[in-house]
Structure 1
Amino acid sequence: MGEKYLTISELNLEGQFLGFVGDAGKFKYLRLGIPSGDVQVKLPKELRADLSLSLVQGEQIRVDGISKLNPHTGEIKFKAYRVKPTDVCPNQNLTPQTKAKIMVCQKSGCLKRGGKGLLSELEKTLCDRGLSDKVTIEHTGCQKRCSSAPNCVVRIGKKHYKKIHPDAIASLLENHFT
């Protein structure tokens, strides 16, 4: 965060995970819903990939980190060093996400090897079967599996499926939602 920021204190926040903030696949922050409002917490690079696959929107999480203050502007920034789910039931007024998520790599290597076609075929197949409202398609950065490009990961609950054809994805989702 630079030398212009002064470390204020340790940070221990518990709240509801509301999503990531940043460009597609290049998020740097997570949004956390706490009783006093929403806050953005910066994530270190080593946590970003794991959290994008493990956190579910609406889930209760605990964020440990530090808070820093810019003495010139009075701005406070939060930076996490640990993020863990808690066993607390989510707030009733904020509904957790029940949609399945399909993460499609949009880096140049995957796009050159059929990523655009995969994405359009996937959207068409889901629309034809009436599943487009039950699934979130997310554009991601590199998934570190370039040799098997184009890459997509299907996440249904806590299960992850890789290297699946769009028709097989639609069948899998139909079975899950019926």
Structure 2
Amino acid sequence: MSKTTTTSQFRMVGQLESFVIKKGDKIKYLRLKVEEREYWLKIPKKLRSEIDINLFPGTWLEITGNRELKQKKGFFELEASRVKLLSNPDIPCAVIVSEPESTSVGKILVCQKSSCWKRGGQSVCQRLEKELEKQGLSDRIKIKLTGCLKQCKKGPNVVVMPHKARYSQIKPGEVGELLTKHFTP
């Protein structure tokens, strides 16, 4: 199986919350507050020596780097490539992300075997397509018809990836809630 990664550039302006330090004095992560949200940014070895560990919480920083989608875990990992100290506290908080060409973040597997299909799998699949389009997720989430998911008597069966969440006896009316639960921030 091939491993595909989705990466893009980011730029953040926010306030330092703290450092996450491992093995005595090695900065592994930097916690940054941007508006009301906190981000953990991985600090690579080559950048660790350039960061002043004595910075106070609340210090304004501008950080640029790469973000990578961790397909199996279903979240983005942020890695800093540059950390810049800002002296002007009037700078508004901002997160600017340059999106990659492909922003696929998930798949929904739908059993197409006769038992699941007869129990409403086809209706669930059609509703999934409509809801993905309606919620603007059709370019990020793909529907894949699969073979037996080993829960024939509990069909129709659906698996949401990358979360590996399994759903049995799903009804077309539950599709919108399922998409919101897994793919809406």
TM-score normalised by length of structure 2: 0.43
Computing the radius of gyration from Cα coordinates, the structure with the larger value is 2
Q: What is the TM-score of this pair, normalised by structure 1?
A: 0.44
